[in-house]
A and B are shown apart, each in its own frame.
Chain A
Amino acid sequence: MLNLFLIQALNGVQLGILLFLVAAGLTLIFGVMDLINLAHGALYMIGAYLAATLTAATGSFGLGLLLALPATLAFGLALEVLVVRHLYGRDHLDQVLATFGLILILNEGVRIVWGAAPMSVPVPDALSGSVHLVGTLHYPLYRVAIIAAGLATALGLHLLVNHTRLGMRLRAGASNGPMVAALGVDIRRLFLVVFGLGAMLAGFAGAMVAPILSVDPGMGDSVLILTFVVIVIGGVGSVRGAFVAGLLVGLADQLGRTFGPILLRSVMDASAASQTGRTLAPMLIYILMAAVLFFRPSGLFPARGSR
């Protein structure tokens, strides 16, 4: 049982890190630009597809990943200039509609370019084994790599946000946007940079999961909703909040999935318990979110002082 807990905790951390990567960019976009971007999950999908294609083209996952990053960055920048830029300062409803439209376009576009069938990316040979933990316990090396890469990115973001000039502007933008603009910061460029960065982070997350999940149109949708939950729990605009909430959601999901049925099994038969528990787990996250919002309507780490 302890072994199982350990493995599920690791899985939870891995999922949490992944959610953080997607959420970090989105929370900044929300916080700094006050833009509700439903299409952020689609960027995660684009990252995965680009990584899959580039891996197939170069024959190396490492190279594919490395090339996918600037490619998603470029894609994100293009999207900002073409569409997103025109949504700043607009009604949230307009933003919801336009970015909902973007999801439809990108999901369908991916189906046209890459087909409806899922693509798969082989795990790089160097990372395809498993790590021996204790006793009979093994954990896939590749997932360890995801956790490590995610933590490194989180550290990098922490340094960027808290110890650079850009980071200062970001924090300022998240807590009081108009003031930053009034102080003469080129807000257009700041927004472009933030959106590009967010796109690249989401693309990075998508590229990282390509070898363990199959890459298919619509993969962004499920991540998007989880990301929203993370952001709302963490507090809009807070990278630190996204990190904490990401881990919280990841752990709640993975531990709930496994231990829910085990707990339920004491009150009902095995297959009913397994079915009920498995589907209660995704509900758990939303209950968590509702509870957090009930007590703290602005999330755990609200970035914006007053609105």
Chain B
Amino acid sequence: MSTLVARISAEPPRRRAALSGTALAGLVLAALAALPLAAEAAGLPFLVVTATRMMIFGLAALSLDLVLGYGAMVSFGHAAFIGLGAYAVGILDAHGIRDLAVQAPAAAVTCALFALVTGAISLRTRGVYFIMITLAFGQMAYFFMVSLAAYGGDDGLPLSGRSTLFGMRLIEGDPALFYLVLAVLAVALLALRRVVASRFGRVLRGSRDNAVRMQAIGFSPLPYRLTAYVIAGAIAGLAGVLLANQAEFVSPAYMSWQRSGELIVMVVLGGMGTLVGPVVGAAALIALEEVLAHYSDHWRLGLGVMLVAVVLLSRGGLAGLAAKIGRRA
């Protein structure tokens, strides 16, 4: 499809990187696990909240990477899944069902079904049409939630409190929620690593790089793309479950098209088709927002300039720019 994707896929396998990556991952995990204690000691307990948000959006960006980075499907409606997941929590909560053991599967199944139906229609189209039809489905979900007056409509829905886990109020505190999100993110990351390394993942990447060749050797890309779309939807739904718990509030705004745009930015900023990259990208974008917003109301201007500059200054997209920086460093 593109220069950007071609460039990434043209790279040799990254076995060496993966090995050193394991040690690095352990180190990062240990550092993250110590964060709540360190933040408390430094008198900055709010850092935990920010870090939790980073990881939640990291999880969502990670799921988008499966679609965008490995499937080369530019989905502009991914935020809808976050919203649906969040609403699964909100709506169940409003009916007195507060346990994650029910909420999380409900969210994942709802999102998987929504992804199955919309994906089946969207994947009939390609290119610009795919971008716009996913956008339209996202907007449709958005307006559906806006219309659900019984569950707050436009105004959103405050939760009665954070979810319980098997009847216990485990994630009442911010550090506890932080550890839960960290665990979910780590599991999702490992699981998706296996998925992309599996036969399924190889077909998906093969279809991305050369759909005609894959078809010639007997693989129809559609079922693989659809499966990836559904898996990504379900994971984004889990991110929504966590987001609802973090904010203790559910709102249609979670599924606005700007949010979908931001998710794409996170994935591309961090590096498409790398799984870890989008998580870092999400953290970077949220950190940027936190800090810039503190200095100026007009922080979005800075983000916009950065995006345009990054695309314009690099021949092969963001990855190309990073390569340039890397060579210089």
In the bound complex, what is the Cα–Cα distance between A204 and B325 (angstroms)?
42
B111 to chain A, nearest CB (A): 18
A185 an interface residue at 8 Å Cβ cutoff?
A: no
A 91-113 contacts with B by CB, 8 A? 91-94, 96-98, 100-109, 111-112
B112 an interface residue at 8 Å Cβ cutoff?
A: no
A162 an interface residue at 8 Å Cβ cutoff?
A: no
Residue numbers in A under 8 Å from B310 (CB-CB): 97
Residue numbers in B under 8 Å from A100 (CB-CB): 261, 264-265, 304, 307
Task: Determine whether the beta carbon of A279 is less than 8 Å from that of B146.
Answer: yes
Task: Determine whether the beta carbon of B304 is less than 8 Å from that of A103.
Answer: yes
B323 an interface residue at 8 Å Cβ cutoff?
A: no
B195 an interface residue at 8 Å Cβ cutoff?
A: no
Main secondary structure of the interface of B (DSSP, over half): helix
Which residue of A has the minimal Cβ distance to B72?
Answer: A93
Task: Determine whether the beta carbon of A92 is less than 8 Å from that of B74.
Answer: yes
A272 an interface residue at 8 Å Cβ cutoff?
A: yes
B182 to chain A, nearest CB (A): 29
B247 to chain A, nearest CB (A): 22
In the bound complex, what is the Cα–Cα distance between A236 and B126 (angstroms)?
13
Residue numbers in B under 8 Å from A276 (CB-CB): 147, 149
Main secondary structure of the interface of A (DSSP, over half): helix
Task: Determine whether the beta carbon of B308 is less than 8 Å from that of A101.
Answer: yes
B91 an interface residue at 8 Å Cβ cutoff?
A: no
B301 an interface residue at 8 Å Cβ cutoff?
A: yes
Task: Determine whether the beta carbon of B264 is less than 8 Å from that of A228.
Answer: no
Number of interface residues of A (CB under 8 A): 52
Contact partner, B129, options A83, A102, A236, Cβ 8 Å: A236
B 24-69 contacts with A by CB, 8 A? 68
- What string of 1s and 0s marks CB contacts (under 8 Å) between A267-278 and chain B? 000001001101
Task: Determine whether the beta carbon of B300 is less than 8 Å from that of A108.
Answer: yes
Task: Determine whether the beta carbon of A91 is less than 8 Å from that of B1.
Answer: yes
Task: Determine whether the beta carbon of A92 is less than 8 Å from that of B128.
Answer: yes
**Shortest 3 CB-CB contacts between residues of A and residues of B:** A101-B307, A279-B147, A104-B304
20 residue pairs of the A-B complex, CB under 8 angstroms, read A91-B3, A92-B1, A93-B264, A96-B76, A97-B268, A97-B311, A98-B307, A101-B308, A102-B308, A104-B303, A221-B258, A228-B136, A229-B132, A236-B128, A279-B146, A282-B146, A286-B143, A290-B133, A297-B129, A298-B129
Known: A90-B3, A93-B5, A286-B143. 13 other contacts (CB 8 A): A90-B311, A91-B3, A94-B2, A97-B310, A102-B308, A108-B301, A109-B301, A282-B139, A283-B144, A286-B139, A287-B140, A289-B133, A297-B124
